[in-house]
Amino acid sequence: MNKKCSKYEGLFIFADEKTLNEHVQNCEECKKEHEKFERVSELLQEVKPLYKKKKTNINLAIKAACALAIIFTGTMSFDILDAKYSIVDTFKYGQAISIEDIGFPVDSYGLLMVD
Ligand SMILES: [Zn+2]
């Protein structure tokens, strides 16, 4: 056989295991390819525990990134809302309920007075 067989990849992806094995038994080229793949497969089994450990770290990193994204987005939307409705100003200049409204003694800054 001087023509390189290119069926292995196609069979591996699209055919079932039986069809793949049958072809591998009858084709030298694919047999070699298959053996190579088996070796890689074994290697993967060996490094799997290490990979899993690494994956956990990646998951943590993704979670951290999501948390940061949520915080960032939350801050951004608060800023936008604040620009629109002056939320901070309402709190600063006392249109919201203050300590004084509740009935505590306050100084001229609206802060709780402690003698
Ligand atoms: Zn083949």
Q: How far apart are CA 73 and CA 75, in angstroms?
A: 5
* pLDDT means over runs of 10, the chain (115 residues): 77 90 93 90 84 75 83 75 70 62 76 76
Enter the DSSP assignment of 84.
Answer: H
Q: Are 99 and 106 in contact (CB under 8 A)?
A: yes
Tell me the domain boundaries of the chain. Answer: 7-102
Burial code of 73-82, b = ≥16 C-beta within 10 A, e = fewer?
eeeeeeeeee
Question: How much is the pTM?
Answer: 0.39
pLDDT computed for residue 95 by the predictor: 60
Q: How many residues in the chain?
A: 115
43 Cα: distance to centroid of ligand 1 (angstroms):
24
**What pLDDT is recorded for position 1?**
45
The alpha carbon of 46 and the centre of ligand 1 are apart by a number of angstroms equal to: 28
* Centroid of ligand 1 to alpha carbon of 44 (angstroms): 24
